[in-house]
Every structure is written in C-alpha cells, then in structure tokens.
Amino acid sequence: MRVLVTGGAGFIGSNFIHYWIQNHPGDQVINFDALTYAGHLESLKDLEGNPSYEFIKGDVTDAEAVKSAMDGVDIIVHFAAESHVDRSIIDPTLFIRTNTLGTAVLLKAALDKKVKRFHHVSTDEVYGELGPNDPPFNPQTPYSPRTPYAASKAGADYLVRAYFETYGLPVTITNCANNFGPYHDPEKLIPRFITNLLKGEKVPLMGKGENIREWLYVEDHAAAVDLVIQKGQIGETYLVSGEEKTNLEVTKKILKILKLDESMIEFIENRLGHDFRYANDGSKTKALGWSAKHSFEEWLEKTVDWYKKNEWWWKPLKAGRPNIDRSAQKSYRE
C-alpha cells in the first residue's frame, strides 16, 4: 500500500507518519511537504534511510507537483494546512490559498488518479464556538467559522464533500480537538508556554485564560485517523474528542510540572474572533472502536519532559520568531 501524507513534516503529520510506519509495516509512506516555517524534517530524522519512507518537497497548490507525487498512491491523508489562527488574522489570503485552493488541487488529482481513499483532516473550529453549557459539536452541527483559518478549513471540508457527492470520490473527514505532544511547533500554546518557561520567560495568556479547549495526545489522533480510514463509511465525517480544559488550567498544570508559580503568567488582550469554547461529540468515532489511550495529565508531563530533553529541536525554531500576538489583536474598529 502506498500512502501519501501531505504536510508530513508538520506536527501532526510527522507524528502520523511515525505511527503509520510502526503500525503498518510493509506500507510505503510518501511525505509531501512544502517545508514552510512550520515544516521540520528534523522531526523525521530517525526515518532517514528507511525504505518505507520517502520525502518529496512540494506545494499542495502546485498541480504538476501534486500529480507527480500521487503516482501509484492508494491512500491520501491530507494534513497540509496553515493552522495558526493569529497568522490567519494577519494574512487571510495565505490560508485560503493553502487550505482551500490546495485541497481543491489535491482532490482533482486524486480523482484523476483514481485513489482508493482521500482522507481529509480538519478542525473543530469550523463549527464556531460554544457557550459554557452548550452540547458538544457533532457531524450535523451547522458550520459557523469565526476566523479566516476556520473559514479556510470549512471551505476545504465543503470541497471534499462535493467531490464525494458530485464525482463519487471515496472520501472521509475527521474534525479533531487540539493536539499536543512531541514535535509541536513552539508558536502554539502548549509548546510555546513550555519553551518560554524553560528559557525563563513569561507566558502570554489571552484574556483571563477562561477560554476552553479539548486536548488530545497526538498519537491518539493518529490512531483515530487510521481507524476511520480502515472502518469509516465513505462520505462520512467523524469527530475526534479530547479532554476539556480552560487555557488557565493548562497553564497552571505546566507551571506545576516545572515547579514555577503564577508570577510567570502575563495576561494579554484576547485576539480577534477568539472562540470561547470547543467540544466534540466523538461517539461516532468511538463506535468504530476508538478511544483515547493517553490521559492529558500524564502525557502533558511527558510532553514537558520531551521539550526538556530536545532543546536541539525547538531552540532554533524560537530564535528570531516575531511576536504575532499584538498584530492579531488589531481591529478596523479601533
């Protein structure tokens, strides 16, 4: 089996490749990635020379490169995306280009090449936000994206569904909770806070830290995608759930692990369109036989330990990175 993983040098994509090679010996995995600022081949250094793994540098919006990479491919697992919400507020068109147009290019090539499965990895952010007592999102929840990132992913989801309905392309979709784990780019909340604190710097917590997210260890996400590919119904959407925590709770847990106090928190203004809460009804995915194997408490501690031991990976990434928090707070209304 030949499996093409787009965005395989990113956080979730690289972890997925490690998972797939370990759990599907004999399969050939092709990593197709443009290597933007968020793509790190260092995350796959241990696979160099592995006959089951191949890397192709390419952009998902490049039709010829996509077509070439898809030769002989049986399954496409589409992770490639611009995913940092703050960046989408600063430059929405980049997100539309990669996330929406890029998905369209991949879908056309997949149809032309007659792939056996196109699995699209999406986000719970396409559904908008929840109030504190609202029931979790489910596959029938109407889309209500509130940021350019979420809108670009919603557009991609609709295209995937359209290719199933119009052309019969065999697709599945997963919309997932926030992931955490190793090889997570240090611009995102958990790795940013860990690495800031390891450097002796304060952590920038938006608002009062009251916003709520579900958190899922990245390997559990990989297992859910694998199961949906193996057992999911063609044309269907599956939500992957995690454990609900406020951002303040997450921050305090990281501080506790590192034996630091709350004086290391710097409260900053909320970004524009900062959704209050996300939560997923994962019962449809669980009905296939999936459940999370890694608890948030234990694996957050293991994640902190990973960043302690792998400064070689994250320190170069943090060097020279601009502070984008303030730019994401600027509004036309000001």
Per-residue pLDDT of the chain (334 residues; tens, 9 = 90+): 999 999 999 999 999 999 999 999 999 999 999 999 889 999 999 999 999 999 999 999 999 999 999 999 999 999 999 987 888 888 999 999 999 999 999 999 999 999 999 999 999 999 999 999 999 999 999 999 999 999 999 999 999 999 999 999 999 999 999 999 999 999 899 999 999 999 999 999 999 999 999 999 999 999 999 999 999 999 999 999 999 999 999 999 999 999 999 999 999 998 787 889 999 999 999 999 999 999 999 999 999 999 999 999 999 998 866 665 544 455 443 4
The pLDDT, as a whole number, for residue 86 is 82
Angle between helices 218-231 and 11-23 (to 10 degrees): 60
Distances (CA, A) of 35 to 10, 38, 46, 229: 8, 7, 18, 26
The pLDDT, as a whole number, for residue 85 is 83
The pLDDT, as a whole number, for residue 331 is 43
What distance in Å separates the CA atoms of residue 43 and residue 46, rounded to the nearest whole number? 8
Q: Bridge-partner residues for 296, per DSSP? A: none
Other beta carbons within 10 Å of 51: 6
| Pair (31, 156) in one structural domain | yes
At residue 225, the 3 state secondary structure works out as helix
> Active-site residue among 125, 129, 185, 219?
125
The pLDDT, as a whole number, for residue 324 is 54
Residue 318 lies in a domain: yes
**Domain CATH number, residue 320:** 3.90.25.10
The pLDDT, as a whole number, for residue 323 is 61
Q: What angle do CA 160, 161, 167 make, to 5 degrees?
A: 90
Residue 98 lies in a domain: yes
> Active-site residue among 53, 127, 149, 238?
149
**Active site annotation includes 266:** no
| Pair (195, 319) in one structural domain | yes
| Pair (127, 164) in one structural domain | yes
Task: Write out the two tokens for 94.
Answer: 């980049």
Residue 280 lies in a domain: no
**By C-alpha distance, which of 246, 251, 271 is closest to 324?**
271
Residue 7: give the domain boundaries: 2-180+215-240
At residue 233, the 3 state secondary structure works out as coil
Residue 103 lies in a domain: yes
**Active site annotation includes 124:** yes
SS (H, E, C) 5-68: EECCCCHHHHHHHHHHHHHCCCCEEEEEECCCCCCCHHHHHHHCCCCCEEEEECCCCCHHHHHH
Residue 287 lies in a domain: no
> Active-site residue among 59, 82, 124, 214?
124
Q: What's the domain count of the chain?
A: 2
| Pair (46, 175) in one structural domain | yes
